[in-house]
Amino acid sequence: IYLIIKISRKIGLSAETCGYMQLLRTIYKRDSMNRRCIYFAVIMLVLTAAGCTAPDEYKWIPWYEFRGHCYLKLHISVESLPDEAEVFIDGVSKGTTPCSFVYESTRYIKGEKRKLPMPDGGSSFFETRETGFLGETEIEIKITKQGFKPVNKTLILEDYFLSDSLDHKKIYEKSLKLSYTLKKQ
């Protein structure tokens, strides 16, 4: 079309004819851009369809809800400055600093679970998702020493364990180190 417009101007065609040719040229440019957009859309559609139809690693296996319990063990070590401060956990004396003890709890959990077979025919395993604790366990820690202000700290046991991958009847353990500086009264 561009060549036709140049040739028509050289031969001396009227301005109306040249205007008509320019209109055709504008339409051709727009049409070319529309074609490019259509080609791009078709290519993206093919790529998307190919990605969505890829085979899964496992056949579709439904999820089922479960409720159960797990065991939590929190190994707590407490230090203070100055040493020899008395440590109370939920009102029970655990000794003087530095000291260590284990806090154990059975927590109820809920979530979704499914049983997946091993691809090579081995034993199956379980996959969990959207798990969480049903409630909270508060641990009250109090550190006292004669002539110093007592320090109180409340810990929530479940905050120290990731709840997104819990499983029924499993034991989960963590360690926690607490350091306190006591102020004189």
Q: What is the pLDDT of residue 54?
A: 57
58 occurs within a structural domain: no
Residues of the chain with pLDDT under 50: none
Are residues 86 and 138 located together in one domain of the fold?
yes
Domain span holding position 148: 64-181
Are residues 164 and 106 located together in one domain of the fold?
yes
17 occurs within a structural domain: yes
Are residues 99 and 176 located together in one domain of the fold?
yes
Q: What is the pLDDT of residue 17?
A: 53
Q: What is the pLDDT of residue 78?
A: 92
Q: What is the pLDDT of residue 85?
A: 92
Are residues 34 and 85 located together in one domain of the fold?
no
- Whether the pTM exceeds 0.95: the reply is no
59 occurs within a structural domain: no
Q: What is the pLDDT of residue 3?
A: 60
Q: What is the pLDDT of residue 158?
A: 87
Are residues 103 and 13 located together in one domain of the fold?
no
Are residues 135 and 91 located together in one domain of the fold?
yes
Are residues 43 and 77 located together in one domain of the fold?
no
Q: What is the pLDDT of residue 86?
A: 94
Count of structural domains within the chain: 2
3-state secondary structure the chain: CHHHHHHHHHHCCCHHHHHHHHHHHHHHHHHHHHHHHHHHHHHHHHHHHHHHCCCCCCCCCCCEEEEEEEEEEEEEEEEEECCCCEEEECCEEEEECCEEEEEEEEEEEEEEEEEECCCCCCCCEEEEEEEEECCCCEEEEEEECCCECCEEEEEEHHHHCCCCCCCCCCEEEEEEEEEEECCEC
Q: What is the pLDDT of residue 141?
A: 93
